[in-house]
Amino acid sequence: MAHEVQFVRGTFYKAGGGMTHLKHALREKYDQNRIPVPDIRLWKWENGSFVEASKQELHELYTYNMEHRQRKNANVYFEYMVSGHDPEKTAEVAKYLSENVFDNRTVFAVEHRDEGHYHTHFFIFSKDPAHLKSPNLKKQDLHMLRVNVGKITGQKVKEKGTGLQKHVGLSSDPERTKELVAMQQQEAERMKQIQEQIKPILSVYGAIEIYSLNIEKGVRFRLYNGSGRTVFDDVEQIPVIKLMQLDDKPGENVVFVPVPFEKEGKKYVRGIFLDDVPEELVEEQPEALPNGTVIVQTSKNKYQAHIPLPKLFDVDTADQLQRLLVDYYQADPGAKWLLHPRRMPGLKNKKYLEKPVAKVVKVVKSDATVDKLIAEIGENRDINFQLQEKRWVLIEKKSPKVARQIEEILEVEGESTWQRFFEESGGDRSSADMKYVLRLLRKGYDPQAVAYALLEISPDLQIRKPKHVLDYVERTIAKALSILQPVSQEKEQNHNPEK
């Protein structure tokens, strides 16, 4: 039987018996009853062209290699078999092997149909008059050979370590065998469920790397499959069995990060990310998120949003956009970094005692798009800026005292004060806004001056819808006054005990 190259084990055939494989591929020893009329064609990729070849050429190169080998069992030729592919892709595969793997050596392609199935054997000889040394194939070269041929032919390549089910050998105890098979089936079903959870993530980002974090030990390692791959662009490449082992291991938290694409010296991404998206947004207004957004529930009332971009965005632009949307949607500001680690759906979230499984709960269907959002944010910013200027003119004209207070607040209690409250509240904007307002009101500033200062200082307000901004500020001031009012009344009673 002709040899199909397998990862790591794919080598040049050695001298002993090597001609047998050639004869088999050429059907010089075929069974007339099994294949009455074998349809065989012989081609070669040489000097940039795919042209007809002859058996004699293969036999002569075989003899040449036998005569020029350095030792008795030296390698003679390399064979790779592809089955069930589009015959139109055969020349493309031969070209790839010649120009990208084997130093422009001649690649022979033996095409034939075996019981209705199309097969092609590709042969590359170790040496020829133009190449006096054997090619130096590394493990990674063989791995990429399989992957890239699969891409050319449009066929999936099952990589080592990514299978869903192990083989259960026969046992003298039939019940034990039955039990093992059932266990394997359950494990395979769990693996399929994890794959289904990861597919939407890959559809957003295109390619990801997976890491296991052990926070207690301060250790992080990158996941790889049996083929040595660490960047995954297809769910079939991911070693799900390793994910399950890590998922069951205490202290190990599995996360992923998107892998940027390189194009003409620049790096690009296909998606951006929001952590801790407000619950009310996901539950009540998911249509406010861009179409195609993948929502992952990481624990009770906690959500992450994976937003597909309409086209490839360079890393710097995508990073700025992600930071903008974090403010716009009031997501977690601690996750503004473009390549911030994301929770892997389908696996446990060990941050919590109950260890909930993170899962994809929704793929948003809406009319909202990233382009529309960018336009809306820009328009909101312009309108809010103009409204703020009008407020200043009005205050300066009708309330000079308030205007002087505003100038004093911005000079003495400006961004640094708000930023301090922001850090103290663990990145909670609303909490920082409230603390800022309470501080200013306690110092005796007019509520109108405080409202203007908050609009000027709080960093995300300018990009929100104008009506929402004003409503938010008014509610914040009102709530702060309601908090301070009982305190003021208590102080007044202390000063006037007879009352």
Domains of the chain by residue range: 13-153, 178-366, 373-495
**What SS3 class is residue 56?**
helix
pLDDT mean across residues, the chain: 84
pLDDT at 256: 95
- C-alpha torsion sign, points 325, 331, 333, 336: negative
Asked if 240 contacts 166 with a C-beta cutoff of 8 angstroms, the reply is no
C-alpha 410/C-alpha 399 separation (Å) is: 17
Question: If we measure between CA atoms, which residue out of 25, 35, 55 comes closest to residue 43?
Answer: 55
DSSP, residue by residue, 241-301: HHHHHHHTSTT-EEEEEE-PEEETTEEEEEEEEEES--HHHHHH-GGGSPTTPEEEEEETT
CATH topology of domain 373-495: 1.10.1240
Mean pLDDT within 420-431: 84
394-428 as b/e: b if 16+ CB within 10 A: ebeeeeeebbebbeebeeebeeebbeebbeeeeeb
Of 70-79, 187-196, 233-242, 436-445, the poorest mean pLDDT is in 70-79
The 3-state DSSP composition of the chain as helix, strand, coil percent (nearest 5) reads: 45, 20, 35
Close Cβ partners of 419 (under 8 Å, ≥ 6 residues apart) = none
Length of the chain: 499
C-alpha 112/C-alpha 413 separation (Å) is: 82
| The pLDDT of residue 184 is above 80 | no
pLDDT at 243: 92
Q: Which amino acid is at 377?
A: I
* More confident position, 215 or 374: 374
- In the CATH scheme, what is the homologous superfamily, with its name and number, of domain 178-366? RepB DNA-primase, N-terminal domain (3.30.70.1790)
| The pLDDT of residue 498 is above 70 | no
Local confidence band at 171 (pLDDT 50, 70, 90 cut-offs): low
pLDDT at 336: 86
* More confident position, 141 or 434: 434
pLDDT tens digits, 359-409: 999 999 999 999 998 898 888 888 988 998 999 999 988 899 999 999 999
Asked if 470 contacts 391 with a C-beta cutoff of 8 angstroms, the reply is no
| The pLDDT of residue 35 is above 80 | no
Rounded to 5°, the CA angle 150-155-161 comes to 75
Would you tell me how many other CB atoms lie within 10 Å of the CB of residue 441?
A: 18
Place of tokens 């040049």: 12
pLDDT at 10: 40
| The pLDDT of residue 114 is above 70 | no
| The pLDDT of residue 434 is above 90 | yes
Query: pTM for this structure?
Result: 0.64
